Structure 1
Amino acid sequence: MIHEISPHRLNNEFLPNAEPWKDDIIIFAQNDMLMVGGEPGNMRFPKRQEIRSNRFVYQYLFSLDGHGVYHAIGNHTAPLPGFAYKTMREIRWQMQGPREYMYAAYTAWHLISWYEDNHFCGRCGHPTSYAAKERALECDNCGHVIYPRIIPAVVAGVINGDSILLTKYAKRNVPFYALVAGFTEIGETLEECVAREVMEETGLKVRNIRYYKSQPWGNVQDLIVGFYCEVDGDTTIQMDRDELKEALWVKREDIQGQPDDWSLTNQMMMTFKAGQEPQLSK
């Protein structure tokens, strides 16, 4: 998955007074795009020594393999030579790695989006400022504290004997299959979310809901939690056509993976294909 970057390491420790050195990574964001360079499979970001202008303020985000990763704050700039602005979707499908830089891009976008969305206090409307001792924003007027936005979501591998439920979303131009997924509602456990999403999208009841793994998915600020479960009773799919354009049972041997191996969804599909999904404890 995208966050499985060992032996590389992303360290998200909050270091508010850090300053970039010449080899540190600088992230330029413009609208919904990041500035990237390199060839497919060998993406890179600018380093501080490549930036000749002194008109930027550098906001520390995290470190990657000991090198600081900073957001360049200032007036939007034209791409540096050899770089271009690309959306997160373009970065995923066109640049395709290396994995540690993809994870850095997703995590940087998560933080930059949160900072950009919270220049003003949601309670009183006054400007916010950086907290001194933790990754947070504070309102100087009313004292309201705003923490990074992390949205819990689930992905469900629904099993029917030797088959699993695969879907395609109605409003996305994506050619490959995925699993049922959705966001957790207020006052709902993750397991309850699994049962509700499966019922809403496919009309199926499920049982034996069991945890598999979790994954940060920073380009949409999600924390995705994966579960397997069994269909309970009637296996007839009643698809919600506002949500899905396809939903079907697929045998293990017929499962086709997604184009890359970065998503929890893809790993769960391929884990089931290999017959290695977690079993119920006896």
Structure 2
Amino acid sequence: MLQDLEYGRLENEFRHTAPVATAKVVCAQGSRLLVRRKEDDTLVLPTYAEVMAWAKEKGWTHWYENEVQYVFRMQEEDYFIWMGEAGAPADTSFCYEPAMTLRQVKSKNICYAMMTAWHLFDWYRSNRFCGRCGAKTKHDEKERMMRCPECNNMIFPKIAPSVIVGVTHGDRLLLSKYANRSYTRYGMIAGFTEIGETVEKTVQREVMEEVGLKVKNIRYYKTQPWGVTGGLLLGYFCDLDGEGEDITLDREELAMAEFFPRNNLPAHDDGISLTREMMRMFEEGREPK
């Protein structure tokens, strides 16, 4: 999966460090990320040197080193985020791409780094002011936390738990497609955990809400950080409770849902997502029983 790095590791411990010229910097406009698309269709982030060169050329006096926040280190490279809204760079080889396109990055290491950096960028951007009293927040000196100097409100990175559910009926797996979304590939039932709810209850509720089916024998598979949505995905398999496959589709959420036989699944592992790995586990008969 995405987080199973090809080499190196993610060093996400908080620390104070100044950017060097080759450090990678996440810049964004709205929900779009500044990247360069290379000839082989891979995406790369700008370096700190490139970012500061654009700032000098455009006379962006608001670009200062103390507005670039260190986030983590991966593959011997430091990653930073620009805390404000970036403008268009002078270098036309760079452009803004929707954050959701990050999953198309060919290198798993780079994809993982970009998604994780985006997760933190979105959190920092959303918490520049205190949600309790409205004062401007400051970064804590010892840990990754925004602190309000007026009311002492402490704001930590937001991580939203959600489930990916592989509903099985013998040698058949329930697959679905989202309705009214740009992502049109096959997936599985998914949804966020609600307040006061166990993850197992989330599994039962989401399956009932989206396809009108009861499930049993809920068993855990794996987790995956998913920075584009600020989430932590929890993968579960479960069995259809009963013999009937009569699906009642929530058409606001799903365009279709259907049980497919183990030997004829219409989608395969992409090496990136938990959903696709779970499909492969079922296809190979290696899902938890």
What's the TM-score once normalised by structure 2's chain length?
0.90
Structure 1 counterpart SS, 2:119 = helix
**1:33-66 deviation line (CA, Å, top 9, x unaligned):** 1111123453222223334246333210101112
**1:78-109 deviation line (CA, Å, top 9, x unaligned):** 2352221111123434xx22111111111111
| Corresponding position: 1:25 with 2:35 | no
- Give the counterpart of 2:119 among 110, 125, 140: 110
Question: Structure 1 residues 253-262 or 189-198, which shifts more?
Answer: 253-262
In 1, Cα distance between equivalents of 2:286 and 2:130: 48
In 1, Cα distance between equivalents of 2:128 and 2:84: 14
Q: Partner residue of 2:10?
A: 10
RMSD, matched Cα: 1.8
Q: Partner residue of 2:210?
A: 201
Q: Partner residue of 2:279?
A: 269
Gaps of at least 5 residues in structure 2 are: 57-62
Q: Partner residue of 2:270?
A: 260
Structure 2 counterpart SS, 1:168 = strand
What's the TM-score once normalised by structure 1's chain length?
0.92
Q: Is contact 1:41-1:98 (8 Å) kept?
A: no
| Corresponding position: 1:130 with 2:129 | no
In the TM superposition, what is the alpha-carbon distance from 1:259 to its structure 2 partner?
8.1
Question: Structure 1 residues 122-131 or 72-81, which shifts more?
Answer: 72-81
Q: Partner residue of 2:59?
A: none
- Give the counterpart of 1:56 among 64, 72, 78: 64
In 1, Cα distance between equivalents of 2:169 and 2:158: 36
Structure 2 counterpart SS, 1:105 = helix
In 2, Cα distance between equivalents of 1:56 and 1:46: 16
Question: Structure 1 residues 265-274 or 17-26, which shifts more?
Answer: 17-26
Q: Partner residue of 1:172?
A: 181
In 2, Cα distance between equivalents of 1:197 and 1:269: 18
In 2, Cα distance between equivalents of 1:213 and 1:131: 32
Q: Partner residue of 1:156?
A: 165
Structure 2 counterpart SS, 1:229 = strand
Structure 1 counterpart SS, 2:96 = strand
Q: Partner residue of 1:221?
A: 230
Across the two proteins, how many residue pairs are aligned to each other?
A: 276
| Corresponding position: 1:67 with 2:77 | yes
In 2, Cα distance between equivalents of 1:226 and 1:70: 30
Q: Percent identity?
A: 41
Q: In structure 2, what residue type is equivalent to 1:98?
A: S
Q: Is contact 1:168-1:244 (8 Å) kept?
A: yes
Q: In structure 1, what residue type is equivalent to 2:20?
A: W
**1:112-152 deviation line (CA, Å, top 9, x unaligned):** 10111111111111111101111111111100101101000
Q: Is contact 2:268-2:279 (8 Å) kept?
A: no
Residues 186 and 73 (structure 1 numbering): CA distance in 2 closer, same or farther, change over 3 Å?
closer
Q: Partner residue of 2:246?
A: 236
Q: Is contact 2:178-2:184 (8 Å) kept?
A: no
Residues 134 and 273 (structure 1 numbering): CA distance in 2 closer, same or farther, change over 3 Å?
same
Q: Is contact 2:281-2:287 (8 Å) kept?
A: yes
Q: Is contact 2:72-2:80 (8 Å) kept?
A: yes
In the TM superposition, what is the alpha-carbon distance from 1:262 to its structure 2 partner?
1.1
In 1, Cα distance between equivalents of 2:84 and 2:193: 36
Q: In structure 2, what residue type is equivalent to 1:248?
A: E
In the TM superposition, what is the alpha-carbon distance from 1:167 to its structure 2 partner?
0.8
In 2, Cα distance between equivalents of 1:209 and 1:75: 44
Q: Is contact 2:102-2:115 (8 Å) kept?
A: no
